[in-house]
Amino acid sequence: MKVKASRQVESAPVEMEGAVDCTVRWLVSESDGAPNFAMRQFEVAPKGYTPKHHHPYEHEVFVLEGEGVVLEGEKQHPLAAGDVVFVAPDEVHQFRNTGSVPLKFLCLVPNAGQRPQHVSAECDK
Amino acid sequence: MKVKASRQVESAPVEMEGAVDCTVRWLVSESDGAPNFAMRQFEVAPKGYTPKHHHPYEHEVFVLEGEGVVLEGEKQHPLAAGDVVFVAPDEVHQFRNTGSVPLKFLCLVPNAGQRPQHVSAECDK
């Protein structure tokens, strides 16, 4: 068993093309012995966003703090704390902070999807 | 894509032997099309607890609200909002609310582990 405070897990910039003002903490991953999926916590600064992209694996997302939208292709869904998002494999998606405080969310991925291979440079800020 | 408010997802009592004053919401699961793992939200009332048990699959847990402990066998680890727990396959574990408000946490499991088969009746309140 491993127990840790998420705030003490190292935070690193998201360096993927198309990401603006995002950081990520890998809370649980293969390096902890997790056999199937990984739990990451993202923090997106006001006006920041994650890449608009798609990939052949799913996301399971839980919004912890802040306000934003998730894009499903061109369609926007508003997001607030306590909201849950399931992004199916191959769906085009993007998370954007539309509020004045950091948007924080958990985003879980299967281990097979931890190294994205299909990133679009599309970035319609 | 599916977007929903967690509070609007049906909450049901945890009827597993050894569970006291626990409810669960299945936020994302196979019924949503999730191919690999499920996100559940548990709420444990003050003095309540989950079963003390083990099973051949892991848990990935994020504490949302409240205070409690997680037992690793006989060892107790304190828990508060923002804490993360990785329970490895076959580890004996139990979550207990030691505070005065509901203990709320996310607990994710691989799809293969959604129907526990190894539940101990041990229940040392």
Phi, psi of A7 (to 5 degrees): -70, -20
Please list every residue in chain A whose beta carbon sits closer than 8 Å to the beta carbon of residue B77: 1, 3
Facing residue for A37 by CB, picked from B33, B91, B108: B108
pTM metric for this prediction:
0.92
Q: How confident is the model at residue A125 (pLDDT cuts 50, 70, 90)?
A: very low
Give residue A117's pLDDT: 43
A42 to chain B, minimum CA–CA distance in Å? 13
Two tokens at B53? 């048990």
Tens of pLDDT, residues A31-84: 999 999 999 999 999 999 999 999 999 999 999 999 999 999 999 999 999 999
Give residue B113's pLDDT: 79
Q: Which one, of B57, B69, B62, B67, lies nearest residue B109 by Cα?
A: B57
> What distance in Å separates the CA atoms of residue A67 and residue B51, rounded to the nearest whole number?
35
Asked whether the beta carbons of residue B1 and residue A91 sit closer than 8 angstroms, the reply is yes
CA angle B123–B84–B80, rounded 5-degree value:
70
Q: Which one, of B37, B38, B23, lies nearest residue B95 by Cα?
A: B23
Distances (CA, A) of A77 to A53, A69, B1: 16, 5, 10
> What distance in Å separates the CA atoms of residue B4 and residue A41, rounded to the nearest whole number?
19
Ranges in chain B, pLDDT < 50: 116-125
A15 to chain B, minimum CA–CA distance in Å? 24
Two tokens at B20? 């006291």
Give residue A93's pLDDT: 98
Q: Which one, of A50, A48, A42, lies nearest residue A26 by Cα?
A: A42
Amino acid at A125: K
